[in-house]
Structure 1
Amino acid sequence: MAAVERFASKTTTSWFQRLDQQVFLGDVVDQTSGAEMSVGFGRYGKGERNPWKVTYDEALIVTKGSFTVEGPEGPVTAGVGEVIYLRADTEVLYVANEETELVYVTYPHWLRATENSAEAARLDEFHEA
């Protein structure tokens, strides 16, 4: 991995889909990159919902549409150019209010953190798209 890189969602080579939903995630920086964090792109169809327990810190940057994260203190909604921050060990529900694209940044790597948690079985909901 180079010291400085640029990524675009259209160049993401490996997308994962949640069940048969219009929920797609594609890492561009993962645990194999040598970095301490994950970076990727998400695409959600309008109305799609994804329950999850975040076992890592995460920032979601909305680049298209409107996205809500329902957490213990209630819903938080962001539009284009806005960021939602999630703390580790929080049960959430991701909700796409309209067709949405976003960038996610996690620390540490979301996949490794999930694999090593009580939430590991939730990974079975995803398959290569």
Structure 2
Amino acid sequence: MSVEHFTSADASTWFQRLDQQIFLADVLSQDSGAAMSVGFARYGKGEKNPWKMTYDEALVITSGTFTVEGPSGSVTAGAGEVIYLRAGTEVVYVADEDAELVYVTYPHWLTAAESSVEAHRLNDFHEA
């Protein structure tokens, strides 16, 4: 299919980070045949997730306010705004309030993370 439409209801499996109110779900994964990943994330107010980027990522904030802390400072965005992250950057995702967002990664985030020295970070996630 050359044109597709997704909502968070299309996500078949949600993953939670530890016991935090952080939930992630791909709607376009490495199994799709596409060159990128697309998914949805939900963060509860005050939740934080440290991560090292092993792929490029665009975060499209759909509700709430979301901050990414990086080596050159923090970037905050609200609904309708985008935060772009480059591979190789150490970050902390922070929900300033309950937030929902769409993430788009290139290449596929899971494949990139699994084949990197950062693979251990995936152990923090379990099926919700």
CA RMSD of aligned residues (A): 0.5
Which residue in 1 is equivalent to 2:21? 22
Give TM-score scaled by structure 2 length. 0.99
The Cα shift of 1:127 comes to: 0.4
- SS of aligned partner of 2:3: coil
Which residue in 1 is equivalent to 2:52? 53
The Cα shift of 1:103 comes to: 0.2
Q: What are the Cα deviations for residues 8-59 of structure 1, in whole angstroms up to 9, with x where unaligned?
A: 0123111000000000000000100000100000000000000000100000
- Decide which moves more: 21-30 or 3-12: 3-12
Write the distance in 1 (CA, Å) between the matches of 2:54 and 2:126: 20
Where structure 1 has 5 or more consecutive residues not aligned to the other structure, the ranges are none
Write the distance in 2 (CA, Å) between the matches of 1:27 and 1:96: 19
Which residue in 2 is equivalent to 1:69? 68
Write the distance in 1 (CA, Å) between the matches of 2:88 and 2:21: 25
Which residue in 1 is equivalent to 2:32? 33
Map 1:88-99 to 2 at 5 A.
88-99=87-98
The Cα shift of 1:96 comes to: 0.2
Check if 1:122 corresponds to 2:121.
Answer: yes
Write the distance in 2 (CA, Å) between the matches of 1:75 and 1:10: 31
Which residue in 1 is equivalent to 2:84? 85
The Cα shift of 1:80 comes to: 0.4
Write the distance in 2 (CA, Å) between the matches of 1:12 and 1:109: 16
- SS of aligned partner of 1:118: coil
Give TM-score scaled by structure 1 length. 0.98
Runs of 4+ in structure 1 deviating by more than 4 angstroms, as ranges, are none
